[in-house]
Amino acid sequence: MSLEFTPPRIVVIAIGGNALVQKGQRGTITEQFANTRRMLKGIIEAIKAGFMPVIIHGNGPQVGDALIRVETALDRVPEVPLGVLVADTEGSLGYMIAQSLTNTLRREGMSLPVTSVLTQVVVDRNDPALARPSKPIGPFYTKQEAQRQARLRNWTVSEDAGRGWRRLVPSPRPLEIVERDTIRLLIQHGVIVIAAGGGGVPVYVEDDGTLEGIDAVIDKDLSASVLGRDIGAQWLAILMSETQVAINYQKPNQEFLGEIRIRDAGALLEAGQFAEGSMAPKIRAAIQFLEWGGEKVFITDTNHLLEAFRDEAGTRIVP
Q: Which residues are catalytic?
A: 17-18, 135, 220, 282
The one-letter amino acid code at 305 reads: L
Asked whether the CA dihedral 87, 93, 99, 104 is positive or negative, the reply is: negative
Cis status of the peptide bond prior to 8, with omega within 30 of 0 = yes
Q: Considering only CA atoms, which of 57, 222, 72, 204 is closest in space to residue 134?
A: 222
The one-letter amino acid code at 130 reads: L
DSSP 8-state symbol, 135: E
Q: Do residues 244 and 299 touch, judged by C-beta distance below 8 A?
A: yes
DSSP string, 88-111: HHHHHHHHHHHHHHHHHHHHTT--
Q: Considering only CA atoms, which of 3, 30, 38, 57 is closest in space to residue 223?
A: 57
Please give the Cα distance from 198 to 13 (Å, whole number). 13
Q: Do residues 120 and 178 touch, judged by C-beta distance below 8 A?
A: yes
Q: Do residues 229 and 177 touch, judged by C-beta distance below 8 A?
A: no
- The H or E element spanning position 231 is helix 220-231
